[in-house]
C-alpha cells in the first residue's frame, strides 16, 4: 500500500484539515496506531473514504497524530495529492467528535507492504 502521511503534535479540539484532489481513504491515528499501520498489523483509526475536497477532524485528545492519505493498492495505484494543516479550535464546537470523520474503525490489514512514498505538503 502506498500512502502520503504527515504527523502533528495536536491538542484536544484542534482541527486537522486535509484538502484532497480526488476521492480516497483518509485515516487519522495516534503515533502508536501509525506504527502498527506501518508494520502491517491490525490498527484502529478515525476516518474513512472521502470525496475530493476538504476533510476536517476534531482532535479528541492531546497526542502526536498522523494523517494518512492512501494511494490505493499495488494493483490499482491512485495519483493522489493532498495538503494538510492544523486549525485552531472552533469555539462553536462543543464536542470533540469529528466533524466529517466517522467513528473510530478497526482494520485488519492485507498482506501488503505499507511502504511510505512521500510526506504531505505543509
Q: Which CATH number fits domain 2-105: 1.10.3470, 3.10.20, 1.10.260, 2.60.120?
A: 2.60.120
The whole-number pLDDT of residue 93 equals 58
- In angstroms, the CA 58 to CA 65 distance is 11
The whole-number pLDDT of residue 109 equals 43
The whole-number pLDDT of residue 99 equals 54
Q: What is the mean pLDDT of residues 31-50?
A: 94
SS3 90: coil
Burial class (CB in 10 A: 0-12, 13-18, 19+), 44: middle
- In angstroms, the CA 107 to CA 98 distance is 19
The residue ranges of every structural domain in the chain are 2-105
Amino acid at each position: 500500500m502506498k500512502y502520503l502521511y504527515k504527523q502533528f503534535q495536536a491538542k484536544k479540539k484542534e482541527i486537522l484539515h486535509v484538502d484532497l484532489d480526488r476521492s480516497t481513504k483518509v485515516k487519522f491515528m495516534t503515533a502508536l496506531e501509525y506504527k502498527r499501520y506501518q508494520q502491517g498489523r491490525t490498527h484502529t483509526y478515525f476516518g474513512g473514504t472521502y470525496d475530493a475536497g476538504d476533510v476536517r477532524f476534531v482532535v479528541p485528545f492531546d497526542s502526536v497524530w498522523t494523517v494518512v492519505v492512501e494511494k490505493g493498492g499495488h494493483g490499482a495505484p491512485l495519483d493522489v495529492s493532498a495538503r494538510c494543516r492544523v486549525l485552531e479550535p472552533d469555539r462553536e464546537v462543543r464536542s470533540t467528535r469529528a466533524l466529517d470523520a466517522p467513528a473510530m474503525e478497526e482494520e485488519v490489514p492485507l498482506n501488503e507492504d505499507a511502504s511510505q512514498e512521500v510526506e504531505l505538503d505543509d
